[in-house]
A and B are shown apart, each in its own frame.
Chain A
């Protein structure tokens, strides 16, 4: 919230002499950051542009409002710390174990038991409740 007044920067783009023109120079995404045009052309980004933004500090920060679902969001996911996968920990399901219906192609009793066990272990540690801070 600066109170200094100063000129609004003009959207000029400068490049060193000899810099190759980007491949997507003539397109709306990537080459131009604010790429919507009057009349409502959409803002588009190609895959490489999006991937190039993948690891900036902003992109690594978990959004504050990300809902917590055990085993899906939250602390200590494997790829965050780069730690070794612990599958019994990862496979915790989000729903309470309850009455079994017949139903679907995906069901698997042993899996559910393993999952329930994993959940108990997790609850015992109290990790999920106390360790989760964002």
Chain B
């Protein structure tokens, strides 16, 4: 009793309990490695948002590199449909910040679509989930082109976007757009725009 405030959190000795698929093809518990490490970010800048202080509201939630750790995160965070208005989840490869200024995004662009909130409420969780699964599962032919993905919760719509490293190669961009649309069961027209054009409100480059 004297040491009742001792913190004795048990740390499982995981290494000793690993059972790989080779040891036991059914009850293995070794985690499945991902090709890339991914970082999940969250932000809700709310009304205070402007170009200067946006970054402050950006929160790095976690970085993971196995399938099971992805699910461990996904199963324990708020679903998109329950997020407050103006929230965003960003899933980016580790080392790439979810902002235009990052060297990996600087010359890049994004595929995006705005889905009406009312009509999409029941589907948005799966659309975002399948978008993330396409990323972490490396479903894209030009895997290195993909920097990350974003879901945005707004008053009237949800926006899904996938950010690419470059914006001047139509073949690569179109391939990513088609794969995304199929993988995430997206209905409607997705548009590709370079970040440079987005910031200057220039016209759309490509659609799929």
Contact = CB atoms under 8 A, between A and B. Distances in A.
A33 B57 contact: no
A128 interface: no
Interface residues of A, number: 64
A90 B63 CA distance: 24
B33 to A, nearest CB: 6
B75 A60 contact: yes
The size class of the interface chain B forms with chain A is: 35 or more
Given A46-B139, A47-B133, A36 B77 contact: no
Most chain B CB within 10 A, of A69, A90, A95, is at A95
Contact of A36 (B15, B35, B44, B49): B35
Contact of B60 (A67, A77, A112): A67
A42 B35 contact: yes
Contacts, number: 167
B99 interface: no
B182 to A, nearest CB: 10
Interface stretch (B64-72, B161-169, B198-206): B64-72
B61 A50 contact: no
Given A93-B44, A111-B85, A77 B77 contact: yes
Interface in A80-134: 80, 85, 87, 90-95, 98-101, 103-108, 111-112, 115
Interface string B139-166: 1000100000000001100000000000
A60 B71 contact: yes
A76 to B, nearest CB: 11
B155 A45 contact: no
A47 B68 CA distance: 14
Interface of A: 1-2, 9-14, 29, 33-34, 36, 42-47, 49-51, 53-63, 65-67, 69, 71-73, 77-80, 85, 87, 90-95, 98-101, 103-108, 111-112, 115
Interface of B: 13, 15-16, 20-23, 25, 29, 31-35, 42-50, 57, 59-62, 64, 67-73, 75-79, 82-87, 130, 133-134, 136-139, 143, 154-155, 183
19 contacts: A1-B13, A1-B16, A42-B35, A44-B35, A51-B133, A53-B32, A53-B68, A57-B29, A59-B71, A67-B61, A72-B78, A73-B61, A85-B82, A90-B84, A92-B84, A94-B42, A95-B48, A104-B47, A111-B85
Given A9-B20, A90-B82, 10 more contacts: A44-B138, A50-B136, A66-B61, A66-B62, A67-B62, A73-B77, A87-B82, A101-B49, A103-B49, A111-B84
